[in-house]
Amino acid sequence: MNQFSEIKRSLENAQKVAVVGHIMPDGDCISSVVSAGLGLERLGKEVRMIVDYEIPWYYFEFDVVKRIERAEILNEWTPDVILVLDASSPDRVGQVENFLDRAPVLVVDHHATNHAFGNYNWVDTGFGATAQMVLRLNRALGVTYDAELALYNFMGIATDTGFFRYSNSDVKVFEDAAELVRLGANPNVVASTILENKKPEQLRLFCEMVHNLKIECDGLLAYSAIPWRSFEVLGLSEADAGGFVGEIRSIHGVEVAILFSESKDGDIHVSMRSKSWFDLTGTAVHFGGGGHPRAAGFTVKAGEATLEEVVQRTVEYIKPQLKRRTGEVS
């Protein structure tokens, strides 16, 4: 759905804007929230940036990320509009979901599984990153870019394309990235802050993830599970396993990679990646989640199933799909 002009007009007419990202925030979410937030602020608006979830620690090296708040602030501050970025459904915004009826909701997103839950929706799967849509929105609103804003905006394009490696790395991605580099974004700072900032314990957790790795379906399916106690003994949180599923996908011959991780509160998060042909959106939606064809996921709430049960159900659901395809090929 393309209600870009309605969204632009709503933002122009608003004075107080809540800019909201999704739970389990990734680089595109954080980049989109701070880039839209700073952009609107430079136009003289009162802005609060909200992500109702723990933010991976290394993002705090970017000063603006310290300004991101949790949903509770909406108890004491009422916005004129709520701009929701990179989130495909209302349950992806955490407790902000309880406030979505307080003001018009504007949704800007690139997920094929988007529910179009806003009063106005601009959903376009033709963008590799929501950050590219924010760049267009900022430009249309007349926001002036400096090196700081360019870097924050670049970050989402870089991370959602796997630093320009994934299948969504198209001409538009490189053009937008080039424009932001021209405006002062430093790709090396972004890459080094996000990729070369690991704690030693993360590598120990990685060892355990590899230890638990299972490979099935003639090498097409690879998955691993990390129980909460493994994070706990190393003093880590779930965010510290970011990127692991990509490493599973990097195995020769693997088409579908899955990481199951248990969070502190007992929720089971399932993160899935595929390499070249398997469309994961059907599986994600089947289990109540969403995403893209090559990157999707879902969450099973605490108490609904154990980690082992979630692993078994997911693997059993995917296996016949993989076999059907290989049956066709051979």
Residues of this chain that interact with Mn ion (CB under 5 A) are 28, 86, 130, 160
Q: Rank residues 30 and 310 by Cβ distance to Mn ion and give the closer one.
A: 30
Query: Token pair 């106690």 is at which residue?
Result: 229
Q: How far apart are CA 224 and CA 287, in angstroms?
A: 18
Nearest partner of 106 among 28, 36, 59, 155, judged by Cα: 36
Q: Rank residues 130 and 224 by Cβ distance to Mn ion and give the closer one.
A: 130
To Mn ion, the closest distance from the beta carbon of 134 in angstroms equals 11
Cβ-contact 298, 259 below 8 angstroms: no
Nearest partner of 138 among 153, 126, 128, judged by Cα: 153
To Mn ion, the closest distance from the beta carbon of 230 in angstroms equals 27
Q: How far apart, in Å, are the Cα atoms of 162 and each of 28, 42, 237?
A: 11, 30, 22
Q: Rank residues 114 and 261 by Cβ distance to Mn ion and give the closer one.
A: 114
Q: Rank residues 86 and 240 by Cβ distance to Mn ion and give the closer one.
A: 86
- 49 burial (CB, 10 Å; 0-12 / 13-18 / 19+) is buried
To Mn ion, the closest distance from the beta carbon of 162 in angstroms equals 12
Q: Rank residues 227 and 246 by Cβ distance to Mn ion and give the closer one.
A: 246
To Mn ion, the closest distance from the beta carbon of 208 in angstroms equals 28
To Mn ion, the closest distance from the beta carbon of 262 in angstroms equals 24
Q: How far apart are CA 121 and CA 6, in angstroms?
A: 9
3-state secondary structure of 106: strand
